[in-house]
Amino acid sequence: MNREKFIDIYGGIYEHSPWVAAKVWQSGDRANSVVDPKRDLESEMKAVVEASGREEKLALLRAHPTLAGREAASGKLSRESAKEQRGAGLGQCSPEEFQELQDLNAAYSKKFGFPFIIAVGGLNRSDILRNFRMRIKNSAENEFATALKEVHKIAKLRLAALSKE
């Protein structure tokens, strides 16, 4: 598999951050080998993110859409995010739930400087709102670390879904 194909397949694992897949490609001699499906891409990709600087990590967090935000309303979510948000029922929010999400999104973004990120797989709207209400109380450093953990969970879920396709 060449570099372009690798990035085409794995570039969306981390939301709008194909640089993660590109660095994984660069980390080994991929040009002369076929990607081993048993290879632990999850660990390799996570290691690339963890080795990156704070600004790269912040950019990665900021690349995520807001939950039930304007990207969802305008149909501009990535294919993966749209599927994930649909699966959590975010498109079926009551007017009260939608307004609470909008209010929480605004307060969270103002406080932390990036959108609220949660791996929504297996969660429903109530679970997401409960987590949102709790996490907005976190310190900036604690929430930065929590958001990165959630990004890694999302990547793991996306890799698992990709392997089923």
Kindly name the residue from 46, 64, 135, 158 that is annotated as catalytic.
64
Which residues 6+ apart lie within 8 Å of 7 measured at CB? 18, 21, 22, 25
Catalytic, 152? Answer: no
Helix boundaries (H) for 2-139: 3-10, 19-26, 41-51, 54-62, 70-74, 79-87, 95-112, 125-135
Distances from the Cα of 5 to the Cα of 16, 49, 105, 147, 149, angstroms: 16, 21, 35, 29, 27
In our burial notation (b when 16+ CB lie closer than 10 A, e otherwise), range 132-152 reads beebeebeeeebbeebbebbb
CB atoms inside a 10 Å sphere around CB 126: 10
Residues in the chain, overall count: 165
Integer Cα distance of 93 and 113 in angstroms: 25
Residues annotated as part of the active site? 64
